Amino acid sequence: MEDSKKNKLKEILVLLKYMGFEKIDVRSPNTSPLSNLEKAVAGCKKCRLHETRTNTVFGEGPANADFMIIGEAPGEREDEQGLPFVGAAGRELDIILELAGIDRKDIYITNVVKCRPPGNRNPDMDEIESCIGYLKRQLEMINPEVIILLGNVALSLVTGTASGITKMRGKKMKYLSYTAIPTFHPVYVIRNPRSRELVAKDLKEAKRCIG
């Protein structure tokens, strides 16, 4: 978050405390724009994925995170629990975050697509198009300083095609007005353990982008 915004937020918090509202959670009240958007996603039927989902997976993390990670789509465990990266890919992501010295609690984690594609297939282009407005609104609300694009589907937001991660990983790019760094998806890292260090390196670089 920009310094001027942080200072304004601090001023508002001091004022609220002075007025006796110190117990109000002003960061993520459940009527916040982000939780209203989460409710809209929970009822979404814009594409066929709603027919087979157990839960939508909106995203998780502080509403004012400087660092955002964007994966592909929920898998089986995520669909069961309604939370991102809680299965095998999540365990791998946790290992990489630790290597990079990043606390999962400090970052916002979400996916391009909010419902599980059956059998964990890649989301189709029309499914991505139906869902992308939600991610754009999450970005506007959270306004992170840097985003990590995990794998080809997330990279396709910038390039328009779901390929090229090997060539593009680690290269800083723009997605909308945001600084984005693509890197390998944790599922790729599970299959290619030697890529783990590269992903940790990309995350460390992303950390350096935060002023």
Q: Is 75 in the site for ligand URA (CB under 6 A)?
A: yes
Q: What is the dihedral of CA 133, 138, 144, 146, to 10 degrees?
A: -40
Q: What is the DSSP string of 79-146?
A: HHHT-SS-SHHHHHHHHHHHHHT--GGGSEEEESSSSPPGGGPPPPHHHHHHHHHHHHHHHHHH--SE
Number of Cα atoms under 13 Å in the Cβ half of residue 46: 17
Q: Is 66 in the site for ligand URA (CB under 6 A)?
A: no
* Residue span binding ligand URA (CB under 6 A) among the ranges 9-17, 72-80, 129-137, 173-181: 72-80
Nearer to ligand URA (CB atom), residue 22 or residue 129: 129
> Pick from 67, 85, 184, 188: which binds ligand URA (CB under 6 A)?
85
Q: Cα–Cα distance between 42 and 56 in angstroms, integer?
A: 6
* 67: phi then psi, degrees, rounded to nearest 5: -125, 125
150 touches 114 (CB < 8 A): no
Number of Cα atoms under 13 Å in the Cβ half of residue 162: 11
Nearer to ligand URA (CB atom), residue 37 or residue 113: 113
CB of 1 to ligand URA, least distance (A): 25
> Pick from 38, 58, 65, 72: which binds ligand URA (CB under 6 A)?
72
CB of 25 to ligand URA, least distance (A): 25
Name the residue number minimizing CB distance to ligand URA. Answer: 71
CB of 108 to ligand URA, least distance (A): 13
Q: Is 84 in the site for ligand URA (CB under 6 A)?
A: yes
Tell which positions 99-138 bind ligand URA, by CB under 6 A.
Answer: 111
> Pick from 74, 123, 144, 182: which binds ligand URA (CB under 6 A)?
74
Q: Cα–Cα distance between 122 and 152 in angstroms, integer?
A: 10
| DSSP character at residue 189 | H
Biggest CA–CA distance in the chain, Å, is 55
> Pick from 34, 68, 69, 89: which binds ligand URA (CB under 6 A)?
89
What is the contact surface with ligand URA in residues (CB under 6 A)?
A: 71-75, 78, 84-85, 89, 111
